[in-house]
Amino acid sequence: MNDFYYFRTMSNRSIRWVIGFGIVAIVAILAAQAYFFYQAFNLKERQTVQTLRICLQAVAENISRYNESTLPDNIIHQYSPDYFIVDINNHIDSRVLEHYLRTELSRRHLDIDFEYAIYDCDDDRMVYGNYVSLDEKEEQKNKLQHWPTYEEGLYYFGVHFPGMQKYILGEMEIWYFFTAILVVVILFFGYSMMIILQQKKLSEVQRDFINNMSHEFRTPLTSISLSADVLEEESSGENPARLKKYVAILKEQVSLMHNKVDKVLLQAATEQRFFRINKEKFPLKDFLSDIKDEFNSRVEHADGKILLDCPPGNPSIMADKTHFSGVMINLLDNALKYTVDPPEIFISLTEQGNKIILSVKDNGVGIEKKHLQRVFMPFFRVPSGNIHNVKGSGLGLSYVKRICTLHGWKIRVESEPGKGTTVKMTIPKAT
């Protein structure tokens, strides 16, 4: 037992370490990816700006040759990554300027939209020229509202590249590829962690199931063993009353073990893909009366009572009698086990049009709201406070839910701690 506890503790600790290390590694990789992407963007921006400067230098030289004039020494002035002023020191024709800008950008494969303005020295302002979109379908966006001027020049033009950032990002396809790979790796890691946690949870559920079932079988086996020892030691003629008592114990405990095994086998059977139910038509009131009579002795043994309230008439339903009986036995068994006071179980029928509401209500310990969504899960057992030592397989309500689903019935649980639990099934009437 100590070895098992140590293994379980080490397993949980290892999983936490793996998850923690994985999260740290992912954060570090994302940070590194963001840093290198930023550096790559800056490098590409510098390369693009350098190419644009070369392009604008060529435009200025072409205009100078066209005007048969000379250029000043320092002609290109950069005010921002996407805005340049080019000093020509001579008259500028807007059509000639636009032609050379298109030509030089195309020659260097710079598919960037641009707009330009020409300085008017008479009015001391930038006169807007045109917005040139290389993609005619693309809307003109991010126009420059304020065009800075160059105080030391008289003849110059300004060029703004509003799509420069988009162009640079479009030139970084390889980084998108690596980012996509990183996202896939992260998703795979997250999926793997989810699978690991699910397997860990399943392992814990299976372990608890095995422990619960071992307790469930240990008690009747012990009783059977003791009764067998007594029967072996005594002859049937010496004390027939005592013999009859131990024979009754044997029969009761064997029946109990049969019920436990049947419950596990029924749960396994209902989980099979091709499991089928065999419906038949029968009166519901008569059926519930038989179930009540069958269960009455167990309730009376616990100094409790079980009541059945049915409206006038005897409506019929279509159901698999065997499995419906298993549903009712499971519900009544839970109602009986999870009580502190003498049990009071109330079975009631309510007709609503062509449907019947079948309710099983108890005065037990109740269920907290946070557990209600999980009560139908296989192997799940609700922590039950003062009677937490009640043993069970955790398969009862899972089986109930499965049978109701196969019948097409709706089932819900209403409960409040300390005020009992009510299970309601909505069943169509047989036509």
- At 186-212, the pLDDT tens digits run 888 888 888 877 777 776 666 666 666
Q: What is the CATH classification number for the domain harbouring 259?
A: 1.10.287.130
pLDDT tens column, 136-172: 655 566 788 788 888 887 889 999 998 888 888 887 8
44 neighbors 172 (Cβ within 8 angstroms):
yes
| pLDDT exceeds 70 at position 231 | no
**Please, which residues have CB within 8 angstroms of residue 343's CB and are 6 or more apart in sequence?**
299, 302, 304, 305, 306, 335, 336, 362, 363, 364
| pLDDT exceeds 80 at position 263 | no
Strand partners for 157: 86, 118
Domain check: are 160 and 40 in the same one? yes
pLDDT tens column, 309-342: 988 888 899 999 988 988 898 899 888 888 877 8
Which residues constitute the domain of residue 253?
A: 174-270
Last residue of a domain, one of 241, 270, 299: 270
How far apart, in Å, are the Cα atoms of 247 and each of 104, 253, 294, 298? 107, 10, 21, 19
For residue 23, the model assigns a pLDDT of: 83
pLDDT tens column, 327-386: 898 899 888 888 877 889 999 999 988 999 999 999 888 888 888 887 887 666 666 544
Last residue of a domain, one of 244, 270, 296: 270
Domain check: are 131 and 193 in the same one? no
pTM of model > 0.85: no
Q: For residues 96 and 88, what is the distance between their CA atoms, to the nearest angstrom? A: 13
Domain check: are 184 and 101 in the same one? no
**Please, which residues have CB within 8 angstroms of residue 22's CB and are 6 or more apart in sequence?**
189, 193
Domain check: are 342 and 285 in the same one? yes
Domain check: are 327 and 407 in the same one? yes
% pLDDT > 90, the chain: 19
Domain check: are 263 and 290 in the same one? no
Q: For residues 377 and 290, what is the distance between their CA atoms, to the nearest angstrom? A: 29
Give the DSSP H or E segment for 308: strand 305-309
Higher pLDDT, 423 or 371: 423
Domain check: are 114 and 198 in the same one? no
pLDDT tens column, 95-105: 999 999 989 98
Q: What is the CATH classification number for the domain harbouring 409?
A: 3.30.565.10
For 86-116, give one letter per residue: b (16+ CB within 10 A) or e. Answer: bbbbbebeeeebbebbeebbeeeebebbbbb
| pLDDT exceeds 50 at position 135 | yes
Q: For residues 178 and 153, what is the distance between their CA atoms, to the nearest angstrom? A: 47
Strand partners for 80: 83
Summarize the confidence of residues 13-41 as an average pLDDT: 83
pLDDT tens column, 111-134: 888 999 998 887 788 888 888 886
Confidence of residue 272 (pLDDT cuts 50, 70, 90): low
Q: Report which listed range, 25-34, 239-248, 271-280, is most confident.
A: 25-34
Domain check: are 239 and 336 in the same one? no
Q: For residues 116 and 14, what is the distance between their CA atoms, to the nearest angstrom? A: 63
Summarize the confidence of residues 250-254 as an average pLDDT: 68
Last residue of a domain, one of 243, 270, 297: 270
